[in-house]
Structure 1
Amino acid sequence: MVRLFTLFVFPIITVGIFCILFPATAIGDITEVDDLKREINLPVPAKRFVSLAPNITELLFHIGAGGNIVGADEFSNYPDEAKRITRVNNHALVNYELILSLQPDLVFAWSSGNGYEIVQRLRKLGLTVFVVEVTKLSQIPKLLKKLGRLTDKTSESNRVAASFYKKLQSLIELHKNKKKVKTFYQIWDDPIMTLNGEHLISDVIKICGGVNIFATSTPLVPRVNIETIMKFDPEVILSSGAQERLVSWKKSWSRWKNITAVKSGHLYLIPPDLLQRPTNRTLDGADYMCKYLDQYRAFGS
């Protein structure tokens, strides 16, 4: 009897003491580093989460995790299912009480869109926040995989990431040796505003063989004047908007006929959301941009 007790009970006691002295990480523990270089730890994949930006909402749906979003920002409108999610914020204002009442396991935030103060406030409220900031197309596959691991959608996110990477490499290969085209991307009319070289759209311009004429400007979204635009003399001018806006937008530029893009008629609009939001559809926006730069190469002035 003593021998049986020793054989069966002593090992159990030994294992118990070992676990107390040297606690192991739970089997389901997940650790990811967000785009602010902060380590995010979850005991298990998140089952309830809040998305504070439309680009993040779209990416989560794309990997099959959209059904677990319990709160989203007011601009999350794609896909259609996103429109039915409870609204918790816009770019400037956040309903913190509502977010807490939704009891999310994880909150996804957009660094340049939501800002430091909102992220810090959420963390002080005890919420786990994963911050996203995409500045290059090559970062999107990595982000998709991280989102998949955090939301228990690893298989689907790996498939989507691989597809995105393959399409991106094809786009890069197709345009890598083409003639450079001086490009101006306008995001606002009055005052005139653009994007510098740190923005995702500038990366798309580069991939398409263009040169962002304000790549070295500061800040990320600089205000510019027409005299500087004339000095840099873009060959193509781009913006985002519906085609119904094209006539009036072109007319607003028509007085500056000394600009090559205006003189030769190379002003183009890219459908809204395709480039402004870093998502899987950004490649569709890149296709538009590359096509428009190719039109200048083909027909010039």
Structure 2
Amino acid sequence: MEGKRAGTFDWRMLLVIGVVVAAVAGFMAGYFVGSANQPETLSIVDDYGRSVKLSGPAERIVSVSPTPTEILFAVGAGSNVVGVDDYSDYPAEAANLTKVGSYTLNLEVIISLNPDLIVCSDLVPRSQLDQLATQQGIPYFIFATRTMEDVYKDIRLAGGLTGHTTEADELVTDLQTRVNAITSKTLAANVTKPRVFIEYYPLWTYGPGSFGDDLIRLAGGENIAANASNEYPELTSEFIIAQNPEMIVYTIGPMTTTTEAEIAGREGWSGISAVAGDNIYSIDDNLLSRYGPRIVDGFEQLAEMIHPELFS
């Protein structure tokens, strides 16, 4: 028996008029565009505080993480992407692009694509990226997303990197509207916060400082691993039983074969409130682990799972 799936909800500008306006816009977005008397240049600060310099909006981008891949396509810069990592399979156009490896990158293929920028998440080892930057002069930009606010920021940064600032701003406004429609209900003072356990791999979950922890909070739940020692802890079965979650959500993807029946049948779990109350749900792993626009789809589903009474 597979887990129950909740339904999905129906889901600056850098126009240089003068030096002052350009400077202000550049400051607000984290980048600067050259004046009319200078070659157009970009200096954009990534999520690691690194200043990444480009001669202009990136035109040939290699993305080595699914999150920036999805963000780039979402802001209208998909045609600028010439290569992606092995896991970037959304949207469909991305899946058909040249593959450049994953945690171990194929440097020869990347160089052959002649990119002017590489984008990645903070999970990608930097040694090979440093090698490309030092030996080939190819800059790289790191996205390190931990909260919903980070998603908005990174979408705007992607817009700035590619000259798609208007599209990025419009997308952020749409996502904020959708998120606010949920949190106006889930974060209300009178809403109870059920204990939630999200399992993305058997006994592995989201701890403090992780995006999953932020999603549970925004969705009106209490993360049983909120006080764990790291962002992605492996819990013990005994700890989970003691925490007695009222809601269990497990992810479905290539990394796990977990089912509702398997979870319910674990030794000692029959007395857990979520198991006894038949509150075990499944969700597409990509909607919780890829921190681009689709994270809002996952958030909407999660909120409905935790608080069905608010969205009936």
TM-score by length of 1: 0.84
Which of 141, 165, 168 is equivalent to 1:130?
Answer: 141
Alpha carbons of structure 1 residues 297 and 61: separation in structure 2 relative to 1, 3 Å: closer
Equivalent in 263, 270, 275 of residue 283 of structure 2: 270
Of 32, 35, 41, which aligns to 2:53? 41
- Say if 2:84 and 2:99, in contact at 8 Å, map to a contact too: yes
Match of 2:52, as an amino acid?
I
Partners of 1:257 and 1:246 lie apart in 2 by 15
Map 1:1-301; keep pairs closer than 5 Å: 26-90=38-102, 92-111=103-122, 113-125=123-135, 126-177=137-188, 178-189=191-202, 192-241=203-252, 246-253=259-266, 255-295=268-308
Match of 2:11 in 1: none
Question: 1: distance between equivalents of 2:211 and 2:280?
Answer: 20
Unaligned runs of 5+ residues in structure 1 are 1-22
Q: Which is greater in Rg? A: 1
In structure 2, stretches of 5+ residues that fail to align are 1-33
Look up the match of 2:18.
none
Question: Normalising by structure 2, what TM-score?
Answer: 0.81
Which one has the bigger helix percentage? 1
Q: State how far apart, in whole Å, the 1-side matches of 2:267 and 2:307 are.
A: 22
Give yes or no for contact 1:235–1:296 (8 Å, CA) kept in 2. no
| Seq. identity, % | 27
CA distance in 1, matches of 2:118, 2:246: 42
Give CA deviations for 1:137-180 in whole Å, capped at 9, x if unaligned: 11212211111111111221111112112222222212112211
Q: Distance in 2 between matches of 1:257 and 1:103?
A: 56
Shift in Å at residue 110 of structure 1? 0.6
Higher relative contact order (CA 8 A, sep 6+): 2
Partner amino acid, structure 1, of 2:216: I
> What residue identity is the alignment partner of 2:130?
Q
State the shift of 1:226 in Å.
Answer: 0.4
Cα deviation code 1:1-26 (max 9, x no counterpart): xxxxxxxxxxxxxxxxxxxxxx9883
Count of aligned pairs: 271
Work out the CA distance in 2 between the residues paired with 1:218 and 1:118: 29
- CA distance in structure 2 between the partners assigned to 1:154 and 1:270 by the alignment: 32
Alpha-carbon distance in structure 2 between the residues aligned to 1:195 and 1:245: 17
Matches of 2:64 and 2:113 in 1, distance apart? 14
Moved more, 28-37 or 121-130: 121-130
The secondary structure found in structure 1 opposite 2:288 is coil
- Give distance in 2, aligned partners of 1:245 and 1:180: 26
